[in-house]
Structure 1
Amino acid sequence: MSLYRTGQVICKSFFNISYKVQVIGQEHIPKEGGVLLCCNHLSNLDPPLLGAYLQRPVHYMAKKELFEVPLFGTLLSNLGAFPVKRGAGDRQALRTTLNMLKEGKMIGLFPEGTRSKTGEIGEGLAGVGFFAARSEAAVVPVAIIGPYKFRKPLTIVYGKPLDMQQLREQKASAAEVTAVIMTEIKQLKARF
């Protein structure tokens, strides 16, 4: 069993013991090809929750400083994460993300860029719109609903892939594409 799959089993067990997890819409995840999972951000536990119940591995950008922590940085790399310099246009991270999507991998992104302190969904940053517009990847909105409180309900909803064709043809700005994605995430949250 790969390190990723071992970590996935451990995370899934942790979530099932700690919370009343409900997973909705797994069938909306394409079985192959590049995929952008675009999710609201409530907790540091969001990345493992986002991928714990999926068949395909999810790759994440993680702040560069985490890769400088002995052993932890190696673990992150082995789990498929890659570094990004926050607060600056990190061209290498942009290229890495676009290449991974082109190679048919699945990338998990949190468009808000930081965790919500209130649980409300905030504004998305233009980066997610950039990746959605510049790639042919399927764009799947995701909503995590509920507080991370012991034995309380915690729901993760994977929405249907968004039709990005018109926005790509119109050469919509990254901000416009991000706004569409954020609206979909908010609507998912409101429905469940």
Structure 2
Amino acid sequence: MKKIIYQIIRLLLLAIFRIFFRIKIRGKENLPEQGGVIVMSNHISAYDPPLLAAIFSRPVRFMAKKELFENPLLRFVLFLADAFPVDRSKNDISAVKKALSVLKSGEVLGLFPEGTRRPEGKLGNPKTGSVMLAIKSGVPVLPVGIKNIKKAGRITVNIGKPFALDQFANKRLTKEERKEAAQFIKTKIQNEINYEE
């Protein structure tokens, strides 16, 4: 029943974004039809999670800051979306384990690797936790660039081809290698933000 409600809400959200925000989506077909995958996007607005949930037919599960679960209405919405909390004030091992479990079970995990919202056009560096989760899980990463969400006119969502981080897997990474992996992810997302037809 929860899955049916999720899809109904998703389609309603998609209609709202299309009517009021004139959303333009490129590359929606790049999301693998099955198997674990991490959707990694820039984060410029509170609209970003529902936007990503709306455009993908597969449910996207988000790791959301624990403070959001303190609001009863938001907690219900997050429950419907199967989101789970993360304590950003520490290395939240339980949230990491939950994320790995989601991916191992073949689901889609939504992450904003910068860890917080940033002004449009100022993409931050991915947090170490997001980078290591992508490497340790071994699943494809789908880069997404969101543009114009706070401006008049059309929201654009560019979705790139999924990529792997195999070159960083199965070894103990140095500090420089972790930075290299973070830069690799950042570049993939930046390419989608910059994409112009």
Task: Give TM-score scaled by structure 1 length.
Answer: 0.92
Which amino acid counterpart does residue 157 of structure 1 have in structure 2? Answer: N
Contact persistence 1:141–1:160 (CA under 8 A): yes
* Structure 1: gaps spanning 5 or more residues: none
Q: Deviations over 1:90-112 (max 9, x none)?
A: 11100000010000010111111
Distance in 2 between the 1:138 and 1:79 partners? 22
- Which residue matches 1:93? 95
Note the C-alpha offset of 1:13.
1.5
Q: Deviations over 1:50-73 (max 9, x none)?
A: 121211000001111221222431
Q: Which moved more, 1:182-191 or 1:68-77?
A: 68-77
Which amino acid counterpart does residue 166 of structure 2 have in structure 1? Answer: Q
Kindly tell me: are residues 19 and 92 of structure 1, through their superposed partners in 2, closer, same or farther at Cα, counting changes over 3 Å? same
- Which residue matches 2:64? 62
Q: Secondary structure at the match of 2:155?
A: strand
- Which residue matches 1:52? 54
Note the C-alpha offset of 1:118.
4.5
* CA RMSD, 1 decimal: 1.7
Q: Secondary structure at the match of 1:98?
A: helix
Matched, 1:157 2:161: no
Contact persistence 1:36–1:106 (CA under 8 A): yes
Kindly tell me: are residues 40 and 31 of structure 1, through their superposed partners in 2, closer, same or farther at Cα, counting changes over 3 Å? same
Matched, 1:7 2:9: yes
- Which residue matches 2:128? 126
Identity of aligned residues (%): 37
Task: Give TM-score scaled by structure 2 length.
Answer: 0.90
Note the C-alpha offset of 1:188.
1.8
- 2:149 maps to which of 138, 147, 150: 147
Contact persistence 1:132–1:139 (CA under 8 A): yes
Contact persistence 1:34–1:105 (CA under 8 A): yes
Q: Secondary structure at the match of 1:142?
A: strand
Matched, 1:183 2:187: yes
Q: Which moved more, 1:15-24 or 1:31-40?
A: 15-24
Which amino acid counterpart does residue 182 of structure 1 have in structure 2? Answer: K
Kindly tell me: are residues 157 and 169 of structure 1, through their superposed partners in 2, closer, same or farther at Cα, counting changes over 3 Å? same
* Structure 2: gaps spanning 5 or more residues: none
Contact persistence 1:34–1:103 (CA under 8 A): yes
Note the C-alpha offset of 1:117.
2.5
Which amino acid counterpart does residue 48 of structure 1 have in structure 2? Answer: P
Note the C-alpha offset of 1:78.
2.1
Distance in 1 between the 2:78 and 2:101 partners? 19
Which amino acid counterpart does residue 164 of structure 2 have in structure 1? Answer: D
Q: Deviations over 1:7-53 (max 9, x none)?
A: 20121121112112110011111111110001001100001111212
Distance in 2 between the 1:175 and 1:93 partners? 22
Distance in 2 between the 1:163 and 1:85 partners? 27
